[in-house]
Amino acid sequence: MATAEDPTLTAERFIEKLMTFQSDEEKRKYHRYFKFDDDESGDGDRFVGIRMGQVFAVAKEFIDLTPNEIEKLLESPVHEIRAGGCSVMGQQASHKRATALQKRALYDLYLRRHDRINDWDLVDLAAHKVVGRYLYETSESRAVLDQLAQSENPWERRTAAVATLFLIARHESADAYRIAERLINDPFDLVNKAVGWILREASKIDPATLQSLLARHASTMPRITLRTALEHFPPEERKHWLSHHELKKA
């Protein structure tokens, strides 16, 4: 990472470079994964049609953007530009030469501007690398995960879950199980999927705790959560737990 601020590394230059990859065909493809109107005058999310691979490549070129410039990207109404900002944050926090101060600045920025990290892919680009990594590497209270899990904002609740993936990767599953149980009956499907995801990964470290959680919740938890959590289970055991859910439904 650069040691001195480069005057060419600005949000404006980032956007100029990114927009060279705009494609109407790619914009049409995004309708498969996101809900949005093509009318750019609307208040909803705007997509311009840039492949995520190109977003990530440009983010790598601009990995040394300052937090102030990253925030300008997050303020954009264009989804791919905000995705670029989140990608820069994730790549910067993961860089081997990132300092503790830089990681703290990214952590603060992520939480302060969560209003602009407002879709599933934006959360997934940075939550574990920025929030999860920071909590793992510092003595910061992990109660922030519980606060996020209690938020009325579903994307903050998804962050609470996804952030624990970094901890799970370092063989720490306690926070993941605690947050999963807080969110076990969340009303939002994209939180349900994330909860199933962290349960599946945490079970690789501590399968007994997942068995205990399933004994309490398998019959009532959302089906997508249960099915995702069971993805690595043997077929007969998976069938056993799914039958609990079906019996309750009946």
The CB density around residue 9, as the number of other CB atoms within 10 Å, is: 16
- Along the 250 residues of the chain, how does pLDDT read in single tens digits? 654 467 789 999 999 999 999 998 888 877 776 766 655 544 568 899 999 999 999 999 999 999 999 999 999 999 999 999 999 999 999 999 999 999 999 999 999 999 999 999 999 999 999 999 999 999 999 999 999 999 999 999 999 999 999 999 999 999 999 999 999 999 999 999 999 999 999 999 999 999 999 999 999 999 999 999 999 999 999 999 998 776 555 4
pLDDT number for residue 124:
98
Q: Any residues with CB less than 8 A from the CB of 58 and at least 6 apart, and which?
A: 14, 17, 18, 21, 84
CATH number of 147-250: 1.25.10.90
Report the sign of the C-alpha dihedral through residues 117, 120, 123, 124, in that order: negative
Residue 166 · residue 128 · CB < 8 Å: yes
Pure H helices in the chain: 11-19, 24-29, 52-61, 67-74, 79-94, 100-112, 120-126, 133-137, 143-149, 154-169, 174-182, 189-202, 207-217, 223-229, 235-249
pLDDT number for residue 42:
44
Using the CB atoms, write b or e for 18-45: b if 16+ within 10 Å. beebeeeebbeebeeeeeeeeeeeeeeb
Q: Is the pTM of this model over 0.85?
A: yes
What are the structural domain ranges in the chain?
1-140, 147-250
pLDDT number for residue 3:
44
pLDDT number for residue 40:
52
pLDDT number for residue 62:
98
